[in-house]
Amino acid sequence: MSGIGLKVRAEFQKGDDIRDAGLTTPDFVERTDDILYGEDPKWQVLDLYRPKNRTGEKLPVIVSIHGGGWVYGDKERYQYYCMSLVEHGFAVVNFTYRLAPEFQFPAALEDTNLVAAWIMEHAEQYQLDTEHIFGVGDSAGAHMLGLYASICTNAEYAAQYEFRVPDGFAWKAVALNCGAYQIMVSGEEQDLTGMLMSELLPEKGSAEELEKINVIAHVTESFPTAFVMTSNGDFLKNDAPLLIQRLMECQVPHVFHFYGDKDTTLYHVFHLNMKTKIAAECNKEECDFFGKFL
């Protein structure tokens, strides 16, 4: 792995360790860990969280796609965030996927598709309501959720991939948090995005590749209803209005939430910090939004 991938992993892990220190599994959560959804026991595993008081009851599903700059993260880093969503009456799927540079694009999307297939195949076993599947993703995870939602709703775009969306799988609505929706590479030597693209993309970020991973370019009128969120201290906050504009052009129903004010700065993916009140408020608002479709 190159220096940038190692640096990102080290810095992100340090921050996440501090954020999650002392957290434990909530009493209301029933968890089933390390379920194999593919063939690779290191990369293709998921956890399923359900409310303990809803045993045997079919529940709507939230699928979480974690962030991490396409080079970092796993389900362990997102377990406390994902388990917090269970309190609102959802079963939550939290999965690890293959990362760059060990695995390049579209490996993570292929894994997301495998998770979709797993849900459809195991819905009866785990009492999952496949008529009500919702998605959450943040940062690079929001980028991937945006791309996969486009694959699910844009046949022309889906034809660019070798895999096919499982029969019957569809997003009821999605929540896109602090996401990257239009990847721009400056060409400057110290451009972090450019360095990450060189690890993620086989051609290191050719014009064709950047167009293929541009979420905004592939949104159509069939894109899922969306909750789009950013904050005043989010370094990706300028991407959200671009996505909103495209959703408006395509007449896709959506809501836009901007968090923070002149007295409070909220940084990138603030909603993952389970020790803060504002994270709980934001995540409840997203779950309440999903609840409108039940």
3 state SS of 183 = coil
In the Cβ-directed half-sphere of 261, how many Cα atoms lie within 13 Å? 2
Tokens of 174: 């999605």
pLDDT of amino acid 186: 74
Share in percent of the chain as helix, strand, coil (round to 5): 40, 20, 40
Which tokens go with 173?
């609505």
Question: Around 135, how many Cα atoms within 13 Å sit in the side-chain half-sphere?
Answer: 32
Please report where in the chains the tokens 């939230």 appear, as a residue: 62
H or E element at residue 79: helix 75-86
Comparing C-alpha atoms, which of 150, 230, 177 is closest to residue 64? 177
pLDDT tens digit sequence for 108-145: 999 999 999 999 999 999 999 999 999 999 999 999 99
Amino acid at 28: F
pLDDT at 197: 95
The token duo for 207 is: 């014009």
**Domain assignment of residue 217, given as a range:** 3-291
- For residue 1, what pLDDT is reported? 57
Residue 25 has what pLDDT? 98
| Spatial distance between the Cα atoms of 200 and 260, rounded to a whole number of angstroms | 32
d(Cα 191, Cα 195) in Å, to the nearest integer? Answer: 6
Tokens for 121?
């195949």
- What is the per-residue pLDDT for 189? 62
Which CATH number fits the domain that encloses residue 60?
Answer: 3.40.50.1820
What confidence score (pLDDT) does residue 6 get? Answer: 81
pLDDT at 2: 61
Is 116:166 a contact under the CB 8 Å cutoff? yes
* Total domains, the chain: 1
Q: Residues 195-238: pLDDT tens digits?
A: 999 999 999 999 999 999 999 999 999 999 999 999 999 999 99
Which segments of the chain have a pLDDT < 50? none
The neighbouring-strand residues paired with 176 are 137, 228
What is the 3-class SS of 244-266, one letter each residue?
A: HHHHHHCCCCEEEEEECECCECC
